[in-house]
Structure 1
């Protein structure tokens, strides 16, 4: 069974971009190994991440993140079993969104997703859009 988890958190310290890139690189490697898709957004000291994949893999990944010393104030905002992935067709795959151009491309992808009229996708879209708007 597929599962989607979305969380938001604060970076424990003011992470320099190089550290964030290292986090992303390691996350991408681990997520590829475990067939996890999604998106990671980091902006102004805040993370929003969507993890999608087999329930066991997503739960294990989230638990590692939960105990990662680089995060604080972690809030799991979505934790659902689902029949399909939302970010499977995202052209960047699992990515970190760090520039205004990447925000724009993610926004375009979210607009495309809205046409699918999927309740779960729409809930995630609203959350990601609010995150982008509030930290952008």
Structure 2
């Protein structure tokens, strides 16, 4: 059975670009090993991540993340069984939100494509991601 978990969290420190790239590389390798797809977004010391895949793998991954001392105030926004993956075609992308960002443009294109699929869960995730980004870019 497939499952998705979406969470937001605070980083315990301001992350440098090099630290974020290393974190993303490790996350991408681990998620690939466990056949987990999704997205990871970082902005203003906050993370939003969507994990999707086999229920056991997603739960185990989230447990590892929740025990990671680099996070605090972890809040699960979505925790449900799914019929199909939303981000399967996105190749576990990582986006650092800033005002001049090709990755952010690519993410918005993908979110728009998802919105056109008219899938209720996908639309809920799309709205949540867009709201997270909007809040973060408004602070700049």
| TM-score scaled by length of structure 1 | 0.96
Map of 1:96 onto structure 2: 94
How far apart, in 2, do the equivalents of 1:78 and 1:39 lie?
14
> Which residue is equivalent to 2:60?
60
Match of 1:44 in 2: 44
In the alignment, which residue of structure 1 is the partner of 2:118?
117
Aligned with 1:110: secondary structure? helix
SS class of match (2:88): coil
Alignment check: 8 A CA contact 1:28 1:94 kept: yes
The alpha carbon displacement at 1:14 in A equals 1.1
Q: CA RMSD in A?
A: 0.9
Aligned residues: 134
Structure 2 gaps, min length 5 = none
Q: 1:16, CA displacement in angstroms?
A: 1.2
Alpha-carbon separation, structure 2, partners of 1:29 and 1:101: 22
Looking at structure 1, the residues matched to 13 and 115 of structure 2 have their Cα atoms a distance apart, in angstroms, of: 35
Query: CA-to-partner distance for each residue in 1:45-97, whole Å, 9 max, x for gaps?
Result: 1100000000000000000000100001110000000010000112xx11210
Distance in 2 between the 1:44 and 1:18 partners?
A: 15
Secondary structure of residue in 1 paired with 2:58:
helix
Question: In structure 2, what is the Cα distance between the partners aligned to 1:76 and 1:122?
Answer: 17
Measured in 2, the distance between the counterparts of 1:127 and 1:17 equals 24
Q: Distance in 2 between matches of 1:16 and 1:111?
A: 29
Where in structure 1 are there 5+ consecutive unaligned residues?
A: none
> TM-score, structure 2 length as denominator?
0.93
